[in-house]
Structure 1
Amino acid sequence: MRVDQAIGQHLAAAGVSHVFGVVGSGNFHVTNTLKQSGARFVAARHEGGAATMADAFARMSGEVGVLSVHQGCGLTNAVTGIAEAAKSRTPMLVLAPQAVLQNSNFWIQQTQLATAVGAVARSVTSAETAVAEALAALHEAVAQRRTVLLNMPIDILAEEISGNGEYSSQPVSGISVVEPDMDAVQTLAGLLLAARKPVFVAGRGARGKQGASVLTELAAHVGALVGTSAVANGLFAGNRWSLGIVGGFSTPETAALVQGADLIVGWGCSLNMWTMRGGKLISDDAILVQVDLEPEALGAHRDIGLGVVGDVVSTAASVSAHLTVRGESPREGYRTAEVATRIVTGAHWTDVPVDDEFTGDRIDPRVLSKALDTALPDERVVAVDSGNFMGYPAAYLRVPDEDAFCFTQAFQSIGLGLATGIGAAIAQPQRLPVVACGDGGFLMGVSELETVVRLQLPMVIVVYNDAGYGAEVHHFGPDGHDLDTVRFPDVDIAALARSLGCMAATVREPGDLDVVDTWLAGPRDRPLVIDAKTRRDLAAWWLVEAFGH
């Protein structure tokens, strides 16, 4: 068989279940063989969308994401999605054929391109080693939680491999565990025992059922409140001591409780400016601890009192074991009756009253989001694009667990939301997929709306339509700058959606959301697009704080 066919066959045998991409001449055979060998191929309309679909699928399924692109231009089209995945440490394999001749229209320096956006570059070097190199790249992506780009020279892909094409294809191995230093474990245990008001903030590195379990157990032992960064939203869903999202999207009550902590432990969390509100959530006398796989991540965003290199699960389990050996009894810590009441009444935005100043033709995004949370089934998977609007769905739309919230924001690019929702929907088919976009991001990625229709995904797509790039409007507007470059004529997104086969409605007031009930009661055989005309004058609270206005 051909080399590319052998690669496709053995990647499928190693456990690749889904492949996302756009097929061209260079990746035609490898993609078809993956499909013929049992992997599902999801055809996107643009490589950028395909990359984000693969990223979101990996995040929400726990499997490796696989992207297949054409050489050169197919890869460059996918770069933003690859950069997002690389920055997020998403286990993803990019199958990228490579032009051989430098005078080819498709020639680019693909290795340098991958490295420039934080991905790991690997290459197929010969027909005889191609399958082994492809499998090694797959295993590296999973074990090291990296986005790996596999360059596959097209002349090698076209070579014939002698024999029957049988290779040893063991199922892909799991994530490598990094055990913490025991001195660091003991030091962390001591800090937890000394703390009166500890708070755990779990990030991307803590996602997963094991992470939720071990952190819940340890937090209960030491009396810690628990919260997450935005990307780990849902990790502690149902926990009565959960503060929800910690950071710019926090309610005032959650922010006050974190500010009251005397010990904050970031578990697989970067503790960046968004999660710590530029440091405003850290009191002057609080000790800051960070647990992370990467030594260079420790203290990267702010000074810490203790850094522990280790896997979240193994580190938390080691601390719990150490406390048990010492015979330490569970402590009340921050878990008082007064704090429990504060959490129940004010830790989630749906419990915070909204002062709705209805304008008559544009809905308040807080009112919209709160109404959507009530109208939509609890069993949902929520994907959120970037922009001025993004905190509203993130803060108001509750999710059942961490596999129900997909937040592709490491690169802070708009336009990824719709593709994110597709990948999440395929990873969690038992849940209602809900996508939230701004009008700018939606129109940037609108080609994938056809993909939603074609795949018959029962998706609710909410467009927070303020007819502009809201973040820039509210960033520069207060200083008196000309905003003509970031404001646009109002687009009839509902009409656009109908032209592609969607059910659609324009929403200007809460009563218009009756369309959600109608759609939910129907066959759900086509997506519902809500063109929500949102207030243009309402600056998001988290951006007001970040921009200093």
Structure 2
Amino acid sequence: MKVHEAVAKALRDNGVDTLFGVLGDANMLYITDFIREQGGRYLGAVDERGAVLMAQGYARIGNRTGSVAITHGPAVTNALTAIVEAARSRTPLVILTGDTPAVRGHVQHIDLPSLVAPAGAHYQRVHNPNDVFDSVAIAFQHAVANRNPVVLDVPADLLTADVTETRTAFEARSAQAVAPDEDILDRALGVLASARRPLVLAGRGVALGGARAEILALAETIGAPVATTLLARDLFRGDPFDLGVIGGVAHELAVNTLADADCVIAFGASLNQFTTGGGSAFAGKAVIQVDTYPRAFGGSTPVDVAVIGDARSTATSMTELRAADHQPSGFRSQRLANALADHTAAADFTDAGTESTVDVRTAMIRLDELLPAQRVMVTDVGRFVRAPWRYLHVADPRDFTHAASFGSIGLGLATAVGAAAVHPDRTTVAVAGDGGAMMGLIEFSTAVRYRLPLVLVIVNDGAYGAEWTKLREFGADPAHSLIDWPSLEEVGRALGGHAMTVTDLADLDQLTGHLQRGELPLLIDLKVAADVDIGLPA
């Protein structure tokens, strides 16, 4: 067995069924082996940034470790922004690359460890042929245990060497349930007992851990309304005391309810600056944070009690200990339930559509009605993003992700392509601004090549919208942010997909026909006005 054959087999041994990548000297042999000898599925991207983002979308929506193979040198520099995004979003990835041949002055040589370290990923190298199976297994083990990308360097000079050791004792294992320390649990319960207006907050960890019922049971026991972070959005949708997302995209009723709360108990949520308003939204409140990840505590806001434990077992223990002698607070009132029931999405704003543009908020409400309920949703980031984050829903929070952890526009489309590969039987909707979409639009052709069920909605204001807003706030001429794009509908068709332009809300009804006829991937050019400010996500 050669090293390239061993890499392909090791990937399959570690549960990899889908590999993303871009062919090059350092990977084309084992990619070929993965497809031909191991029966794996390979999706080739246009460039390496797109390949890593596809693996990220596949990992986040599929709740698994993503795998991607890129070649050496410029392939890694091309992928760096995507690697940072994966590290910041704590996405488990194994990114295979390979150091250049040991030739003096090789034009593609670069110092891989020094390049990878500031990106936040873990660097690992295969040092000899008999390390291959162990190295691949250890890389997956690290990615799973730390929820972090690993850059695995299989040097090009090793690829055709012989392998004699084909077994490994290493196995990637997911994090196990962790029961909280009894003394810490008592402290948390003491804080809850003194709270008169508690609020229960759930993050992505609750959704991934399947702890929805346990969290709702605790909330009922202590008399608390429930809310989520952005990445757990729609977890409690349908519950009469669901405030929805709190933070920069919260509706007014949720903002006011959080302001009135005197205690927040958060499960599986990092309490980052977007959820906590940089800490100001939680100021003056007692904060209990429950998480399995010790580094999650105290990032943006002080925590009174930090409980290391998984959401399900911790919530169950709290409910059992408080149910016997605890009177629920009056914060979970019928008045609040009535106010939440009466709240409508359209009441949040006044439609600002014109004869030639639509209001993105109204458009998202309409898309929420038109798109299949069992959909996957991925967003880029930019000024537009408050609208889909607030008004376009998912049936399960695990079917939603964004590419906003590094604050870079242009990463959402490729992430959505990878997400669409997880569920070929569902529609994946990607929402991006026109600037971000143009940065990554070439990967729309990847969705076309693999016939993925993707709907790309481009919120097109003909500008870099956040810069429009900020220039205007600074008293500068916002016209400097305007860009005269080509027809996005024509570009979508030129890339092999279907496309439509929306200048009136009624135009969106064309979407139903496209879906019924299976005309996907589909690009929707949603025309909006640059001077309608829906607010930046805070």
Secondary structure of 1:410's partner?
coil
Counterpart of 2:256 in structure 1: which amino acid? Answer: A
Retained in 2: the 8 A contact 1:43–1:50?
yes
- The alpha-carbon deviation at position 124 of structure 1 amounts to 1.0
Task: Name which of structure 1's ranges 422-431 and 167-176 shifts more when overlaid on structure 2.
Answer: 167-176
Shift of 1:303: 2.1
Within 1, Cα distance between the matches of 2:264 and 2:250?
16
- 1:306 aligned partner: 305
Query: Counterpart of 1:192?
Result: 192
Instruction: Report Cα offsets for 1:15-49 as digits up to 9, x if no partner.
Output: 11211111111111222223331332111111111
The aligned residue for residue 47 of structure 1 is 48
The structural deviation recorded for 1:418 is 0.9
CA contact (8 A) 2:138 2:170 kept: no
Name the structure 2 match of 1:74. 75
Match of 2:335 among 335, 338, 342: 338
| 5+ residue gaps, structure 1 | none
* Among candidates 344, 357, 362, match of residue 367 of structure 1: 362
1:147 deviation in Å?
1.3
Residue 388 (str. 1) matches residue 383 (str. 2): yes
For the pair 1:111 / 2:113, whether they are aligned, the reply is yes
Residue 253 of structure 1: how far off its partner (Å): 0.9
- Partners of 1:365 and 1:535 within 8 A in 2: no
Q: 1:109 to 1:177 in 2, by over 3 A?
A: farther
Instruction: For residue 289 of structure 1, give the secondary structure of its aligned residue in structure 2.
Output: strand
Superposition map of 1:405-420 within 5 A: 405-420=400-415
Q: Root-mean-square deviation (CA), in Å?
A: 2.1
Give the letter aligned to residue 76 of structure 1.
T
2:149 paired residue among 147, 163, 168: 147
1:122–1:137 CA contact under 8 A, matched in 2: yes
Change in CA separation of 1:211 and 1:410 when aligned onto 2, cut-off 3 Å:
farther
Alignment check: 8 A CA contact 1:357 1:364 kept: yes
The answer to whether the 8 Å contact 2:197/2:329 transfers is no
In structure 2, relative to structure 1, the CA distance for the partners of 1:224 and 1:109 (3 Å cut) is farther
TM superposition shift of 1:297: 3.2
Pairwise CA distance, 1:280: 4.4
Whole-Å separation in 2 of the counterparts to 1:251 and 1:222: 24
> What SS does the corresponding residue of 2:231 show, helix, strand or coil?
helix
Q: Structure 1 residues 259 and 384 mapped into 2: Cα distance closer, same or farther (>3 Å)?
A: same
Q: Cα distance, 1:100 vs. partner? A: 4.7
CA distance in 1, matches of 2:250, 2:120: 30
Q: Are residues 356 and 188 of structure 1, via their aligned partners in 2, closer, same or farther at CA, if it must alter by over 3 Å?
A: same
Which of 507, 526, 530 is 1:532 aligned to? 526
The residue identity in structure 1 corresponding to 2:274 is W
Residue 59 of structure 1 aligns with an amino acid whose one-letter code is R
- Offset at residue 438 of structure 1 (A): 0.3
SS in structure 2 of the partner of residue 399 of structure 1 = coil
Do 2:137 and 2:168's aligned partners in 1 also have CA atoms closer than 8 Å? Answer: no
In structure 2, relative to structure 1, the CA distance for the partners of 1:105 and 1:262 (3 Å cut) is: same
- The alignment-based identity, stated in percent, is 33
Report the equivalent of 1:84. Answer: 85
1:432 maps to what in 2? 427
Letter paired with 2:147:
R
How far is 1:453 from its partner? 0.9
C-alpha distance in structure 1 between counterparts of 2:465 and 2:451, whole Å = 31
Deviation at 1:408, TM superposition (A): 2.0
Match of 1:127 in 2: 129
Select which of 393, 396, 402 maps to 2:397.
402
| Mapped partners of 1:70, 1:189: distance in 2 | 53
Alignment partner, residue 499 of structure 2:
504
TM-score (norm 1): 0.92
CA–CA separation in structure 2 for the residues paired with 1:157 and 1:184: 52
Judge conservation of contact 2:229–2:245 (CA < 8 Å) in 1: yes
Cα distance, 1:494 vs. partner? 0.7
Q: Does the CA-based 8 Å contact 1:124-1:150 persist in structure 2?
A: yes
Secondary structure of the equivalent of 1:515?
helix
SS of residue in 1 equivalent to 2:210: helix
Q: How far is 1:407 from its partner?
A: 1.4
Q: Could you tell me how far apart the structure 1 residues matched to 2:34 and 2:197 are? A: 52
Kindly provide the CA deviation profile for residues 166-204 of structure 1, in whole angstroms up to 9, marking residues without a partner as x. 424776422255543322112112222332222122223
For residue 157 of structure 2, what is the amino acid of its counterpart?
A: D
Letter aligned with residue 52 of structure 1? L
Is 1:473 the counterpart of 2:472? The answer is no
Equivalent residues of 1:22, 1:47 under 8 A apart: yes
Matched, 1:289 2:249: no
Partner secondary structure for residue 441 of structure 2? coil
User: 1:215 Cα shift?
Assistant: 2.2
Q: Which amino acid letter does the alignment assign opposite residue 534 of structure 1?
A: V
Cα drift, residue 476 of structure 1:
2.0
Q: In 1, distance between residues paired with 2:321 and 2:369?
A: 44
Number of equivalenced pairs = 536
* Secondary structure class of the residue paired with 2:16: coil
The verdict on how the C-alpha distance between 1:26 and 1:224 changes in structure 2, with shifts beyond 3 A counting, is same
Conserved 8 A contact 2:276-2:300: no
TM, length-normalised to structure 2: 0.94
CA–CA distance in structure 1, aligned partners of residues 159 and 207 of structure 2: 37
In 1: Cα distance, 2:12 partner to 2:420 partner: 21
Return the alpha-carbon distance in structure 2 between the equivalents of residues 505 and 17 of structure 1. 34
Q: For the structure 1 residues 199 and 26, does the alpha-carbon distance in structure 2 shift closer, same or farther, using more than 3 Å as the test?
A: same
